DNA sequence: CTTAATCCCTACTAAATCAATGTAGATTAG
DNA sequence: CTAATCTACATTGATTTAGTAGGGATTAAG
């Protein structure tokens, strides 16, 4: 049930771009993104292209160029990214909602394996399609703040200082069927 | 988040062996298993070897040989099989319970991605480690019975006729955090 | 004892995927 | 003009996947 390196790098970079956006930094270079997570630059360049072509990030070329999110991080669902990079969430094609393919079992209706894998698919999708980049960024930055470390991408020049940002997220109060770590952390208002 | 063909074949074959066991058939040949699901024989032989070496099935050699489950199907958890064939359930190594490997992120404690993937891992494991081969067999055979089709492996010679088998499964009453299709079907007592 | 059916074992391979790397071009700021 | 940056495309090496091939060992039955 692996996430590819490509997918991991994409998500890590998007999280970094999300932090940058939150902190008022308008552009981040690939080299910065690569250094921040220790990723191979040329490989990451490819990944960023893919994210740009899919409309998740936009770029500015030339000197002082870089990447930024193309939409609000709350509009980018993790499932979208994983599907883009790694394909369907479903363990087998015959339970995929976005890329169904019949399996070779004689009769899908009697296939217990299929039903089990449908449950798995739904469990995965329930998480990855529920949470957004904003959620992951929130958890990451909150953790950083509580442990007293400065957020990266504190804009050196052009930033209007991160205004303390009135709560924008829905509260995740009793809204969740899958109550995992992320849910707990987002619910924890005592920063 | 793919399950490999190898893994799929292993599970399909185990389900067939589970049905065979339930129906009183003591041995099933690889060729039968392959034909039942239309799988490549020689490839399936390899898979069966792997299942045997891991102790999930046992074999009888020679003419009239074949395979059977090495333990009760209720003692075989799906997660065990998937881990055996396809490796850890976790999408990334740093959230694996059975094969942890550090990721290259600077600090795991501040890694929102890691927490999200931990939730995914837990969601997958909650299903695959909860349900057993017996559950999947139960769902499969029940579906077959309700739609009036005969169960395969009706033993031609050596079987003592499937006694109607007093309910052996725990009822899955309010025991489940992940209530998916399988849970619903197992809870449905009106066969 | 011979034969046929079966599992057991090892090796091989073709194709796909993964994870990069390399080279050169286009664009922009200064 | 030059340096910094994204863009595009080609190539590569390693690994994994999904098989195929060929025989060897064991057993039942005649």
Span B69-87, pLDDT tens digits: 999 999 999 999 999 999 9
Which residue among B112, B119, B147 places its CB closest to the CB of A180? B119
Taking only the tens place, the pLDDT of each residue in A5-44 is 999 999 999 999 999 999 999 999 999 999 999 999 999 9
CA B54 to chain centre: 14
Taking only the tens place, the pLDDT of each residue in B13-24 is 999 999 999 999
Q: Buried b vs exposed e over A28-44: b needs ≥16 C-beta within 10 Å? A: bebebbbebbebeeeeb
Q: Is A124 domain-assigned? A: yes
Residue A172 pLDDT > 70: no
SS3 A66: strand
Local confidence band at A106 (pLDDT 50, 70, 90 cut-offs): confident
Number of CB pairs, chain A paired with chain B, less than 8 A apart: 164
Q: Is B152 domain-assigned? A: no
Q: Is A96 domain-assigned? A: yes
Q: Is B111 domain-assigned? A: yes
Task: Give me the domain span that covers residue A119.
Answer: 89-130
Residue bearing tokens 């209530």: B179
Contact B105 A2 (CB under 8 A): no
Higher pLDDT, B14 or A187: B14
> Quick one: which residue's CA is nearest to D28's C1'?
B63
- Rounded to a whole number, what is the distance in Å from the CA of A64 to chain B's nearest CA? 26
Residue A149 pLDDT > 50: yes
Q: Which residues touch strand C (CB under 7 A)?
A: A 4-6, 40-43, 45-46, 60-65, 86; B 28-31, 42, 45-46, 48-49, 52, 59-67
For B63, what's the count of Cα atoms within 13 Å in the CB-facing half-sphere? 0
Q: Is A108 domain-assigned? A: yes
Judging contacts by C-beta atoms under 8 Å, the chain A residues touching residue B91 are 1-3
Local confidence band at B191 (pLDDT 50, 70, 90 cut-offs): very low
Which among B80, B105, B120, B151 is the top mutation candidate for probing chain A, defined by the most A β-carbons within 10 Å of its own β-carbon?
A: B120
Q: Is A106 domain-assigned? A: yes
Nucleotide of closest approach to A65 (CA, C1')? D5
Residue B119 pLDDT > 60: yes
Contact A110 B2 (CB under 8 A): no
- Rounded to a whole number, what is the distance in Å from the CA of B135 to chain A's nearest CA? 8
Which among B4, B112, B122, B188 is the top mutation candidate for probing chain A, defined by the most A β-carbons within 10 Å of its own β-carbon?
A: B112
Contact A112 B135 (CB under 8 A): yes
Residue A191 pLDDT > 90: no
For B55, what's the count of Cα atoms within 13 Å in the CB-facing half-sphere? 5
Query: In total, how many domains does chain B have?
Result: 1
Residue in chain B lying closest to A150 (CA): B110
Residue B162 pLDDT > 50: no
CB B131 within 8 A of CB A116: yes
> Quick one: which residue's CA is nearest to C30's C1'?
A63
Q: What is the pTM of this model?
A: 0.91
For B142, what's the count of Cα atoms within 13 Å in the CB-facing half-sphere? 19
| Both structure tokens of B118 | 């931990």
| Both structure tokens of A119 | 């449950």
Q: Is B100 domain-assigned? A: yes
Which among A10, A35, A120 is the top mutation candidate for probing chain B, defined by the most B β-carbons within 10 Å of its own β-carbon?
A: A120
Which pLDDT does position A158 carry in this prediction?
44
For B174, counting Cβ atoms within 10 Å of its Cβ (0-12 exposed, 13-18 middle, 19+ buried), the class is exposed
Query: Which residues, 6 or more positions from B40, have their beta carbon under 8 angstroms from its beta carbon?
Result: B34
> Quick one: which residue's CA is nearest to D21's C1'?
B42
Residue in chain B lying closest to A149 (CA): B110
Q: Is A186 domain-assigned? A: no
Which pLDDT does position A175 carry in this prediction?
46
Question: How confident is the model over B111-128, as a mean pLDDT?
Answer: 97
Which residue among A3, A90, A139 places its CB closest to the CB of B92? A3
Contact A3 B137 (CB under 8 A): no
> Quick one: which residue's CA is nearest to C8's C1'?
B49
């Amino acid at each position: 049930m692996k996430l590819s390196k490509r997918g991991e790098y994409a998500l890590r970079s998007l999280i970094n771009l999300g932090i940058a956006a939150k902190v008022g930094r308008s552009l981040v270079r690939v080299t910065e993104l690569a250094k921040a997570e220790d990723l191979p630059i040329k490989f990451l360049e490819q990944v960023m292209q893919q994210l740009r072509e899919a409309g998740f990030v936009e770029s500015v070329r030339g000197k002082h160029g870089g990447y930024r999110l193309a939409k609000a991080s709350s509009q980018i669902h993790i499932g979208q990214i994983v599907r883009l990079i790694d394909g369907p969430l479903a363990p087998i094609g015959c339970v995929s909602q976005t890329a169904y393919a019949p399996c070779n079992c004689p009769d899908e209706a009697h296939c217990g394996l299929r039903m089990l894998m449908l449950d798995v698919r739904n469990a995965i999708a329930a998480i990855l399609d529920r949470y957004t980049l904003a959620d992951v960024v929130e958890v990451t930055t909150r953790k950083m703040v509580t442990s007293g470390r400065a957020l990266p991408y504190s804009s050196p020049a052009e930033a209007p200082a991160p205004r303390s940002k009135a709560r924008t997220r829905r509260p995740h109060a009793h809204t969740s069927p899958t109550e995992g770590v992320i849910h707990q952390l987002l619910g924890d208002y005592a920063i």
